[in-house]
Structure 1
Amino acid sequence: MAVGAGGTALLGGCSGGDDSSGASTEVSLERRMREGAVRDSEDLLERYDRTIAAHPDLAGRLVPLRASVAAHPAALAFVEPGRSDERKASPSPSASATATPSRSGEPVPPKAADALTELADAERSLAETRTVALAGAPGELARLLASVAACGAVHAYLLTSNPGARP
């Protein structure tokens, strides 16, 4: 899946710094991990936007999940130590779907059920990538990745469950 592909950057954190204390290495690793996680979240958000644009009848089901995904880039963004946190909200589904060209270039399946399955697969893949990345993440980032991965796993479940069905 294209969404999980960017997440592999989360796994391969090599030090590019020359600081022997390890402090700049940790910041550099955290920054790279956060930037990769933000890109992955933005790609997933774009996938939601394209799916909603292609299947407006699914908007009622997808918009609440999309809103959750839209919060992830700001939560995961790297903020330089000592700088204020100036995170921006993500655009609405309609604005983003029409204004943002597709980075992944993957078409949305014409059948709504297939589109939901593909979106669930993207959520699941990214959740798995983030779970694996926990092992190498610094404390606060590990907690954020765990939370965002759990959110993705829930989204995958909700996208594949039958809404309104009785157990």
Structure 2
Amino acid sequence: MPWTLTSRPSRRQLLAGTAGAAGAALLTGCTGGGGPSGADTGIPLERRIREGAVRDSERLLERYDATTAAHPALAARLAPLRGAVAAHTAALAFPGPAASRPSSTSRPLSAGASASPAATGSPSVRPDPVPPKEADALTELADAERSLSEARTVALAGAPGELARLLASVAACGAVHAYLLTSTPTPGAAS
């Protein structure tokens, strides 16, 4: 029986191949965290990754708060997304004494309030001004979500197992947030 080449692979085959290749790349890059990258600073790799992820999430929360303050009409639309980012921040916090400190990420700020750097533990960097048009503000917020999602996807390669899975979930959620922020709400739906 002659062998025939199919014209092209199915979408399912391409996705399975891509997922397999990505998984193989991640597995070859995984370490226990005690290697040279953690030795130069004295801070364990997992702790450094978590602390960086928490800082990034806190900056994103500040961006949500600034957008809500500048555009109060968007508060209802942004509240669930901001709540998810706050939950991600709590999930990414390093378990232990440092995680028990009070955090401003557990509840949204009022429309007129802004997150102070002292309250979030972030450096005193003010967020960029929010664009005056709602559509532009949503696009900017979506760009911030997308950028952070991509950064977390890159961080997967060096993260220990459980943290890598958490980063992957949070990155996927950030990509969904970016989509939701740039999609047009359907008429009649609460926005």
TM-score by length of 2: 0.68
Aligned AA (1:149) = A
Larger RCO (alpha carbons 8 Å, 6+ apart): 1
C-alpha deviations, 1:45-70, integer Å up to 9, x for none?
Answer: 00000000000011111011000011
Cα 1:96–1:70 shift into 2, 3 Å: farther
C-alpha deviations, 1:112-137, integer Å up to 9, x for none?
Answer: 00000000000000000001111110
Structure 1 counterpart of 2:129: 107
Structure 1 counterpart of 2:171: 149
- Residue 39 of structure 2 aligns to a residue whose secondary structure is coil
C-alpha deviations, 1:88-124, integer Å up to 9, x for none?
Answer: 5523221893352573431000110000000000000
Aligned positions of 1:1-167 closer than 5 A: 14-16=37-39, 28-80=44-96, 86=100, 88=102, 90-94=106-110, 97-100=113-116, 103-164=125-186
Q: Distance in 1 between matches of 2:155 and 2:57?
A: 15
Q: How many positions carry a matched residue from both structures?
A: 145
Q: Distance in 2 between matches of 1:116 and 1:96?
A: 18
Structure 1 counterpart of 2:121: none
Contact 1:42 1:73 in 2 (8 A): yes
Identity rate, percent = 70
Q: Distance in 2 between matches of 1:84 and 1:118?
A: 32
Question: Quick check: which has more Rg, 1 or 2?
Answer: 2
Contact 2:142 2:182 in 1 (8 A): yes
Q: Distance in 1 between matches of 2:89 and 2:150?
A: 17
Q: Distance in 1 between matches of 2:126 and 2:99?
A: 29
TM-score by length of 1: 0.77
Contact 1:117 1:160 in 2 (8 A): yes
The gaps in structure 2 that reach 5 residues or longer are: 1-35, 118-123
Q: Distance in 1 between matches of 2:76 and 2:111?
A: 17
Q: How big is the alpha-carbon RMSD for the aligned residues of Structure 1 and Structure 2?
A: 2.7
Q: Which runs of 4+ in 1 moved over 4 A?
A: none
Structure 1 counterpart of 2:22: none
- Residue 98 of structure 1 aligns to a residue whose secondary structure is coil
Cα 1:141–1:55 shift into 2, 3 Å: same
